[in-house]
Amino acid sequence: MRVLVLGGYGAVGAGIVDLLRAGGDTALAAGRDPARADRVLDLRAVRAGDDGAYRAALAEVDLVLNASGAEDPALVAMAADTGAAFVDITAGTSYVATLEHLQPAAPVLLSVGLAPGLSGLLATAAHTAAPGPVDLAIVLGAGERHGAAATEWSYRLLGRRFPDTRGGAPVRNYTRPEAFDVPALGRRRLYRADFSDQHTLTTRLGAPVRSYFGLDSRAATAALAVMTRVPGAHRAPRGMHLPGTDRWWVLARGAEGALRWAHGRSQSHATAVMAVLASRAATGLAPGVHHLPDHLSLADVPEGHGIEIR
């Protein structure tokens, strides 16, 4: 494949570029910095209507992989118009809902990272073992220096509400705690968070799926629960480095005790592995909008790349 990686020298994008090249694909890192980008591209200019550089880059590739955090349906539509497949690692619920209403002329694949992505494969496996509601637990290492897009997404959730997949009143992010037994961490209190796949999975599985989030640091997790009730907290400084490790866990807890989980080190690396897996699947799909759990399963996750599945 020839792949244009938007945000190709960021925390996740650089890993994607390395993995693609190691697999024999041509990966072009796109971004604003001429010193680091293979294709100099300012996505803010595209949003403002100056799309010449983006269209020129599209003429060279079979697929666009968006690891930039930019949520712009125009990027998807322009790529599809040229026949290029599009893969997006976004976790944004409203953005995913917007993309699902597109009718692209090329395949668009969503729910492809760690969460959403691997989380959806785990949830599907747990539901298959015991049909019924599924609770997803996502625990990330507070000590990892996450990419700007991931950090911004986490802060943006503070104070915001989303529809509960089980009905009832809307849910404020980082509230409504639930206890989970996390391997090697013990019993942890995690909080509801608006990962997009809880909504798409609820529709596809025909059973409610709820996402819970926390950090490996108890103090950092508790801080999110406090900050979400502070007006304007989403504008807090982003440069703070919290105590913790770079380990991550994703668990799917289904009915009748069904449990599927995965763990590893470095959320950014795991997201890159899943994104490359999705990219190789995307080019063989029919035109339209797809989600990873509709086409792949846990058995397709490659071994030896730092993702251990239990």
Which residue is listed with tokens 């100099």?
A: 40
* 86: CATH: 3.40.50.720
23, 46, 98, 230 from 227: Cα distances, Å: 43, 34, 29, 5
pLDDT at 244: 80
Digit-coded pLDDT (tens) for 172-203: 999 999 999 999 999 999 999 999 999 999 99
Q: How many domains does the chain have?
A: 2
| Torsion, CA 59, CA 64, CA 69, CA 73, rounded to 10 | 70
Residue 100 located in a structural domain: yes
Instruction: Indicate the pairing of strand 39-40 with strand 308-309.
Output: unpaired
Residue 173 located in a structural domain: yes
Residues sharing a CB contact under 8 Å with residue 304, sequence separation 6 or more, in sequence order: none
Q: Clarify whether residues 107 and 201 are in a common domain.
A: no
Q: Clarify whether residues 160 and 60 are in a common domain.
A: no
* 244: CATH: 3.30.360
Q: Clarify whether residues 199 and 252 are in a common domain.
A: yes
81, 99, 179, 192, 288 from 106: Cα distances, Å: 7, 13, 42, 34, 6
Q: Clarify whether residues 32 and 152 are in a common domain.
A: no
Q: Clarify whether residues 166 and 98 are in a common domain.
A: no
Q: Determine the Cα–Cα distance for residues 130 and 241; give it in Å rounded to an integer.
A: 40
Which among 161, 242, 147 is positioned nearest to 194, based on CA atoms?
Answer: 161
Which residue is listed with tokens 């979400």?
A: 228
Confidence of residue 148 (pLDDT cuts 50, 70, 90): low
SS3 call for 249: strand
Which residue is listed with tokens 């969503």?
A: 110
Q: Clarify whether residues 88 and 168 are in a common domain.
A: no
Checking if the pLDDT of 144 tops 90, the result is no
pLDDT at 76: 97
Instruction: Indicate the pairing of strand 161-162 with strand 134-140.
Output: unpaired
Which residue is listed with tokens 């629960």?
A: 225
At residue 57, what is the residue type?
A: A
Q: Clarify whether residues 143 and 226 are in a common domain.
A: yes
Residue 291 located in a structural domain: yes
At residue 109, what is the residue type?
A: L
Instruction: Indicate the pairing of strand 308-309 with strand 259-265.
Output: antiparallel
Residue 261 located in a structural domain: yes
Checking if the pLDDT of 303 tops 70, the result is yes
Q: Clarify whether residues 90 and 127 are in a common domain.
A: no
pTM of the shown model:
0.94
Residue 305 located in a structural domain: no
**Cα-atom radius of gyration of the chain, to the nearest Å?**
19
Digit-coded pLDDT (tens) for 63-97: 999 999 999 999 999 999 999 999 999 999 999 99
Q: Clarify whether residues 184 and 287 are in a common domain.
A: no
Confidence of residue 267 (pLDDT cuts 50, 70, 90): very high
Choose the weakest-confidence range: 26-35, 125-134, 223-232, 251-260: 223-232
Backbone φ and ψ for 307, nearest 5 degrees, come out as: -115, 110
Of 266, 288, 305, the last residue of a domain is: 266
Which among 95, 166, 116 is positioned nearest to 294, based on CA atoms?
Answer: 116
- What does the mean pLDDT of the chain come to? 93
Q: Clarify whether residues 253 and 130 are in a common domain.
A: yes
Which among 279, 280, 274 is positioned nearest to 306, based on CA atoms?
Answer: 274
Residue 307 located in a structural domain: no
Q: Clarify whether residues 56 and 93 are in a common domain.
A: yes
Provide mean pLDDT across the span 159-175. 95
With pLDDT > 70 as the criterion, what percentage of the chain qualifies?
Answer: 95
Q: Determine the Cα–Cα distance for residues 192 and 189; give it in Å rounded to an integer.
A: 10
90, 149, 190, 248 from 71: Cα distances, Å: 8, 11, 27, 25
Q: Clarify whether residues 246 and 279 are in a common domain.
A: no
Residue 309 located in a structural domain: no
Domain span at residue 30?
A: 2-112+270-296
pLDDT at 260: 97
45 burial (CB, 10 Å; 0-12 / 13-18 / 19+) is middle
Structure tokens at 205: 């599985």
